[in-house]
Amino acid sequence: MPEQRMQHNIQATNLADILERVLDKGIVIAGDITISLVDVELLNIKVRLLIASVDKAMEMGINWWESDPYLTTRARQLEDENKLLKERLDRIEAKVQETA
């Protein structure tokens, strides 16, 4: 029985080490799927998957989650503010056109 626990702990440590290395270095999986019929391309799907830590992704210049309104409250605030500013600008432009 003690041998099984020891093996389990060693496997968990190895898995944790592997995960740490992958997140530290990053891993990219890329693939393309194309569906054609009589040499006519009907569908083209490009799949790109990056697995990395947030720090590593930012180091590579990837930070899309900072501006995604579904992932951050700050992005939602900016989106709302931009909407209000656009509406205000539209009203100002309409008044300028009326007076011109």
CB 67 within 8 A of CB 75: yes
pLDDT at 3: 56
Burial 61-87 (b: 16+ CB within 10 A, else e): eeeeeeeeeeeeeeeeeeeeeeeeeee
Give me the helices (H) in 26-100, please: 54-59, 73-99
What's the pTM value of the predicted model, to 2 decimals? 0.43
Please report the pLDDT score of residue 8 as a whole number.
Answer: 58
- Per-residue pLDDT tens over the stretch 61-93: 888 877 777 777 777 788 889 999 999 999 999
Long-range contacts, stretch 9-12, CB < 8 angstroms, 24+ apart:
none
Cα–Cα distance between 76 and 37 in angstroms, integer? 43
